Amino acid sequence: MADFYQTGIITTLHKLGRSSLERLEVELQEHSRMRPVTLVLPALYSEFEGQAMPKIVEELAKVKYLQAIVLILGQASDKEFRKARDFMAPIPYEVKIIHNDGKRIREIYETIRRNGLDPGKDGKGRSAWLAYGYVIAGGKSYAIALHDCDILTYNREMLARLCYPVVNSNLDYVFCKGFYSRVTNKMHGRVTRLLVTPLVRSIQNLIGAHEFLTFLDSFRYPLAGEFCMTTDMARVNRIPWDWGLEVGSLAEVYRNYSPRRVCQVDIAETYEHKHQALSAEDPEKGLMKMTVDICKSLFRTLASDGVVFSDGFFKSLSVTYLRRAEDTITKYEADAAINGLTFDRHEEAKAVDSFTKALSLGAQAFLEDPLSMPLIPNWNRVTSAIPGILDMLKKAVDEDNR
């Protein structure tokens, strides 16, 4: 069971006592009449062949408060698209599948591109963004929830807890991010534990208190991919298409909304999904690519908020970070020891070394090109450039699902 400590400047909703899923779902059914919610699922076809997806579909089939599911399918042929549709058939309410590699959706991206807007490269960020566009085009949903399709420990309580703070009009949060412990026989979540938190605190150490850093540090799991937000937010927020997706999205939430309307919720006792390889030698792959993108996203967000970065600053930051990350390893070693978890100190130290290298690469990329933000324009911007784009998107998806 978790403690009840409130972290930082956002609200933390803990998992306290015995929470009842039935009660939550009944309340959600009531509230969703006024505030309909759509679930967005970014998925690759390979995930339909994995272990997680059957369980996710089985659980989602029991959910009664969702208005619709919008699954955006990547890396799939036309035949695989049809298979995915059959796979989702047991769900008894509306399920729309966006065929990301289909000719109609490709033409949508092309239309956006030829009008001078860049929808970015293929990835989770762009997929989620397109799915939001479809939900906005439908004009029926008050809120959008999103989670990945590789969660091995999925149960529908996760979704209920994620949606509740936004859908419940008495609470009226505009954004709710999930958090959970990523523990099996050992601790996972290296990038959050050993990069993001020590880095954020190191920057705070160097530049002093900064509201965005405080905001970011308030999240227990800032890189969690599960969240729920209002559809209005999906319309105004820009989304990064690279691995800086989570940090960049939080930066947009911070920029457009008061932290008082932002919360995080404990959605699961344990959470298990696929793990990325560290790929220490190749900064274009695996966790290294992810960490470089996260660092760049963080620096660019802070720079856009007036923080001045220089070569000297980054040298100090590398040293400060390394020291702080090493201290963090010591803390987690103790945590693992008391809980009887396997803890490979050498592996953790190697990860920190790689992250320090990634930090330098991120800093170098930032200094070379501080303006290059991999942000997809928000839907307000896109519709002002191409007034009929949402209707086109809706038509494309509806035709694909016919």
Using rule CB under 8 A, residue 381 touches another protein: no
Quick one: which of 183, 303, 322, 385 contacts another protein (CB under 8 A)? 385
Q: Rg for the chain (alpha carbons), in Å?
A: 21
Q: What token pair was written down for 386?
A: 């191409």
* Dihedral-angle region of residue 300 (phi above 0 means left; psi in -120 to 50 means alpha; beta otherwise): alpha
Amino acid 378 reads N
Using rule CB under 8 A, residue 110 touches another protein: yes
- Phi, psi values for residue 36, rounded to 5°: -60, 145
Candidate ranges 7-15, 114-122, 234-242, 338-346; the one touching another protein (CB under 8 A): 114-122
Residue 203's nearest CA partner among 56, 307, 294, 124 is 307
Compare residues 302 and 396 and give the one whose CB is closer to another protein. Answer: 396
Q: Are the CB atoms for 159 and 39 separated by under 8 Å?
A: yes
Using rule CB under 8 A, residue 396 touches another protein: yes
Q: How far is the CB of 396 from another protein (least distance, A)?
A: 7
Query: What SS3 state is found at 152?
Result: coil
Compare residues 82 and 103 and give the one whose CB is closer to another protein. Answer: 103
Residues between 78 and 107 with contacts to another protein, criterion CB under 8 A? 103-104, 107
Using rule CB under 8 A, residue 387 touches another protein: yes
Using rule CB under 8 A, residue 386 touches another protein: yes
Residues between 288 and 317 with contacts to another protein, criterion CB under 8 A? none
Using rule CB under 8 A, residue 399 touches another protein: yes
Contacts of 231 (CB under 8 A, 6+ apart): 132, 135, 136, 141, 142, 143, 144
Q: How far is the CB of 83 from another protein (least distance, A)?
A: 23
Residue matched to tokens 């609470």: 171
The distance in angstroms from the start CA to the end CA of the chain is 47
Q: How far is the CB of 109 from another protein (least distance, A)?
A: 12
Candidate ranges 34-42, 111-119, 148-156, 252-260; the one touching another protein (CB under 8 A): 111-119
Binding residues for another protein, rule: CB under 8 A, are: 103-104, 107, 110-111, 114-116, 385-389, 391-392, 395-396, 399
